[in-house]
């Protein structure tokens, strides 16, 4: 049984679902506690003090009460709503892919500070970069798979759908080893970026043995 405690933590809201008529269940990625589920009571009420703050992709500081059976949101300070994301369809679409795949692949309460930093960097970069959203997301996914131990030895990998050519193996290795700011200097055509994305989807579905629940 979990002990009762009050905690404060920084986190990114990966998604949510409605509980009853007025509550929300939040899926939050935190740096200190991994991915956690949090109940935001009354957040669907028009006059809720949580209104506008408990939205997917918001980065916030959360005050939580952790009980034996559930974790309750007691207070929240919004650090960044990443407003620029929401003004551009391509950027918000890619940011939602980042959030949803992170939520899908991470185990609950698996503490992975590196993954938190990666998600935060990716969402921040998407919000301030005019284009190349697909390359940013593709880079994120390769690095996420690497962090989670799901990136296979590409010399041996035989996916369900698509063989990986030498050209794309070199791209994978480069992205795996370099920071995002360097990767954004790569000149890739839209077709090459789309092919990279297709290969990543194949790797995820092969390594997890399940189809992705989101369009990607």
pLDDT value at 122 more than 50: yes
Write the DSSP assignment of 116-166 as a string of letters.
HHHHHHHHHHHHH-SS-HHHHHHHHHHHHHHHTT----TTT---SS-PPPH
pLDDT digits (tens, 9 = 90+) for 61-84: 999 999 988 999 999 999 998 888
Residues whose CB is less than 8 angstroms from the CB of residue 9 and which lie 6 or more positions away in sequence, other chains included: 30, 31, 32, 33, 61, 62, 64
Instruction: Calculate mean pLDDT across residues 40-45.
Output: 92
∠177-143-184 over CA atoms, to 5°? Answer: 65
Instruction: Give the chain's mean pLDDT.
Output: 89
Per domain, the residue ranges of the chain are 5-80, 83-208
Instruction: Calculate mean pLDDT across residues 172-198.
Output: 90
Residues whose CB is less than 8 angstroms from the CB of residue 173 and which lie 6 or more positions away in sequence, other chains included: 154
CA 151 and chain centroid, separation: 17
Instruction: Calculate mean pLDDT across residues 14-20.
Output: 94
C-alpha dihedral (112, 36, 101, 93), degrees to nearest 10: -120
Instruction: Calculate mean pLDDT across residues 120-135.
Output: 92
CATH topology of domain 5-80: OB fold (Dihydrolipoamide Acetyltransferase, E2P) (2.40.50)
The closest alpha carbon to 212, from 177, 149, 169, 160, belongs to: 160
pLDDT value at 214 more than 70: no
Instruction: Calculate mean pLDDT across residues 124-131.
Output: 90
Q: Where are the alpha helices (DSSP H) in the chain?
A: 83-86, 89-105, 113-128, 133-147, 166-177, 180-183, 190-208
Look at residue 86 in the predicted model and tell me its pLDDT. Answer: 86
Is the separation of the CB atoms in 73 and 11 below 8 Å?
no
Least confident of 93-102, 115-124, 167-176: 167-176
Domain 83-208: give its CATH code.
1.20.1440.120
Q: What is the spatial distance between Cα 216 and Cα 197, in angstroms, rounded to a whole number?
A: 8
Q: What is the spatial distance between Cα 71 and Cα 128, in angstroms, rounded to a whole number?
A: 33
Look at residue 159 in the predicted model and tell me its pLDDT. Answer: 63
Look at residue 137 in the predicted model and tell me its pLDDT. Answer: 93
Q: Give the model's confidence band at 1: pLDDT under 50 very low, under 70 low, under 90 confident, else very high.
A: very low
How far the first Cα of the chain sits from its last, in Å, is 38
pLDDT digits (tens, 9 = 90+) for 131-175: 899 999 999 999 999 999 888 887 777 665 666 788 888 898 999
């Amino acid at each position: 049984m979990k002990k009762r405690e009050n905690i404060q933590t920084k986190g990114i809201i990966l998604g949510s679902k409605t509980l009853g008529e007025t509550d929300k269940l939040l899926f939050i990625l935190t740096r200190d506690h991994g991915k956690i589920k949090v109940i935001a009571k009354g957040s669907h009420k028009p006059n809720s003090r949580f209104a506008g703050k408990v939205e997917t992709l918001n980065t916030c500081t959360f005050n939580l009460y952790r009980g034996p059976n559930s974790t309750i949101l007691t207070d929240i300070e919004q650090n960044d709503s990443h407003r620029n994301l929401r003004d551009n369809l391509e950027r918000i679409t890619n940011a939602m892919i980042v959030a949803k795949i992170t939520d899908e692949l991470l185990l609950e309460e698996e503490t992975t500070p590196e993954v938190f930093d990666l998600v935060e960097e990716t969402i921040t970069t998407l919000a301030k970069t005019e284009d190349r959203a697909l390359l940013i997301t593709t880079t994120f996914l390769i690095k996420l798979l690497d962090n989670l131990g799901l990136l296979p030895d590409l010399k041996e990998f035989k996916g369900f759908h698509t063989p990986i050519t030498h050209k794309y193996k070199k791209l994978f290795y480069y992205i795996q080893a370099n920071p995002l700011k360097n990767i954004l200097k790569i000149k890739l055509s839209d077709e090459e970026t789309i092919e990279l994305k297709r290969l990543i989807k194949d790797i995820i579905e092969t390594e997890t043995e399940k189809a992705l629940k989101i369009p990607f």
